[in-house]
Amino acid sequence: MQTRPHALFLAAGGLAAVLWTLPATSADAQEMHLFGDAPPETSAFRLGLEPDAGGGGVDAALADADADPAPAPASATPQRRCVLFQCATLPIAPAPKLFTTGVTIWTLAGLLGGIADGIEGPIHYGVHPFTFADESYFQRWTYGGGSDKVSHFVVSTHVAGLAYDAYRLNGLTEDQSFGLAFATSVVAGAFVEIGDGLSPYGFSAQDWTADALGSLASVFIKRAGLDDTLGFSLGRWLQTTIPPAVIDGRPLFGIDYSQEIYTMNARFSGLLPRAHVDPGFARFFQFSFAYLTKGFGYQPPLDSRYQQIGFELGLDFQEILKAVGVNNSTWWGDTLLRVFGFLRIPFTQIGAYYNLANHKWYGPGAPYHFY
């Protein structure tokens, strides 16, 4: 029934722990020699302009390495890329088989993250007979008003995107990374739902569908080289948003999503160059479509509950970090860029939000208030 937004961080924690066992290249190493010396495959699937290698993803760096067949001068610095705690010096040859040691470890870590998240319900509420839950999607009468489904979608985009980059770093081709990252994320989502099926939540086919759609969206974006242009974020804040006077029910188990907002972001740093426009200072901004709910998750349902959609102009913290020298050539730089791509930082946007219950527009403070 509910998604726990820290699922991504549970998975990342598991990955960090096991990846200490992987060989990491030093800054002056020439290459991580796991797979031989053949150059990586290129693809005609990629769309538009490639992001620059200094701040782009693993695919962008591999594409740049392929684009220049001339030998690098002796003084040139090899391109180094990291995905969390694993680093390598590019170019990387395709893996001779699918499940190399690195690929296997990343896959197991992703699946273990799903298992760890799934067992939280049975641990907290005790093990129940396995049940299914028909939760539907965005109807007003649903448990979360659709926020639970959007949460599954957004978290899955980042799980699948992390897996895709990890597989590319370990030598898999774009097609192999596409398929395996999608499968790993979807199976991890299934483990979460199996755990929910053994708790009061129940196995939700709708949650799992949202997981699959988010995973598919992410690997398509990665495969097309559009991760410098499109992204998804989750925002949270700690203050109470529902005044006690409007609460005439009791909270259900889980969360009510009133303190969360989800966004799909169009980043000007990638969007404008694809339209052959120099972004200039605009590269530090992004335009977002937002979705949020207030007052859901209570029984009996609150008459005052509502859903909102919105449009925002906000800061692009990934691009700001790149401007001050942060990039994914170090484990900590890659981690920072991923964290600030996942999190929507409160009060760094201005927008307009439409209340689907009373059909009114509200100003930039709407996500932080209950109307």
Give the distance from CA 279 to its chain's centroid: 25
- pTM for the model: 0.84
Instruction: Check residue 17 and give its pLDDT.
Output: 44
pLDDT of 93 reads 79
Q: Is residue 72 part of a domain?
A: no
Q: Residue 222's closest CA among 271, 152, 180, 161?
A: 161
Q: Is the pLDDT of residue 301 over 60?
A: yes
Output the average pLDDT for the chain.
Answer: 83
- Per-residue pLDDT reduced to its tens digit, 234-288: 998 776 555 544 455 555 555 778 889 999 999 999 999 999 999 999 999 999 9
Residue 313 has pLDDT above 80, yes or no: yes
Q: What is the pLDDT of residue 6?
A: 47
Strand 360-362 and strand 260-267: the pairing is: unpaired
* CA atoms within 13 Å, Cβ hemisphere of 72: 14
Higher pLDDT, 16 or 363: 363
Number of domains in the chain: 1
Asked whether residue 295 carries a pLDDT value surpassing 90, the answer given is no
Q: Is the pLDDT of residue 13 over 90?
A: no
Going from the C-alpha of 173 to that of each of 176, 177, 184, 288, the distances in angstroms are: 5, 6, 16, 31
Residues 288/312, Cβ–Cβ less than 8 Å? yes
Tokens 């770093």 correspond to: 169
Question: Does 108 reside within a domain?
Answer: yes
What does the block give as tokens for 56?
Answer: 């782009």
More confident residue, 229 or 37: 229
Give the N- to C-terminal CA distance of the chain in Å, as an integer. Answer: 25
Cβ–Cβ < 8 Å for 106, 167? yes
Q: Are 10 and 117 in contact (CB under 8 A)?
A: yes
Q: What is the mean pLDDT of residues 285-308?
A: 91
Residue pair 59/168 in contact by the 8 Å Cβ criterion? yes
Phi and psi torsions of 102, nearest 5°: -65, -45
Q: What is the percent of the chain with per-residue pLDDT over 90, rounded to a whole number?
A: 61
* Residue 279 falls inside a structural domain: yes
Residue 2 lies in a domain: no
Please report the pLDDT score of residue 4 as a whole number: 52
Cα–chain-centroid distance for residue 335?
A: 12
Mean pLDDT to the nearest integer, 214-240: 92
Domain containing 220 equals 7-67+79-368
pLDDT grade for 26, boundaries at 50, 70 and 90 = very low
245 vs 71, more confident: 71
Report how far Cα 186 is from the mean position of its chain's Cα atoms: 13
- Residues 144-203 pLDDT 10s: 999 999 999 999 999 999 999 999 999 999 999 999 999 999 999 999 999 999 998 899
DSSP of 207-250: HHHHHHHHHHHHHHHHHTT-TTTEEEEEEE--S--S-GGG--SE
pLDDT at 325 over 50: yes
Please check whether residue 264 lies inside any domain of the structure.
yes
- Contact predicate 177/160, CB 8 Å: no
229 falls within a domain: yes
Sheet with 360-362: strands ordered across: 343-344, 230-236, 260-267, 285-294, 306-315, 349-355, 360-362
Residue with tokens 């890329």: 81
Phi first, then psi, for residue 24 (nearest 5°) are -115, 140
Residues 342 and 233 sit within 8 Å (Cβ to Cβ)? yes
Residue 222, domain member (yes or no): yes
74 belongs to a structural domain: no
Pairing of strands 343-344, 230-236: parallel
Q: Please check the confidence at residue 14 and state whether its pLDDT lies above 60.
A: no
37 has a pLDDT exceeding 70: no
* Rounded-to-integer distance, Cα 180 and Cα 175, Å: 9
pLDDT class of 48 with cuts at 50, 70, 90: very low
User: Which H or E run includes 185?
Assistant: helix 174-197
pLDDT greater at residue 333 or residue 296? 333
pLDDT at residue 138 tops 90: yes
| Residue 315, φ and ψ in degrees, nearest 5 | -75, 140
| C-alpha–C-alpha distance, residues 238 and 354, integer Å | 23
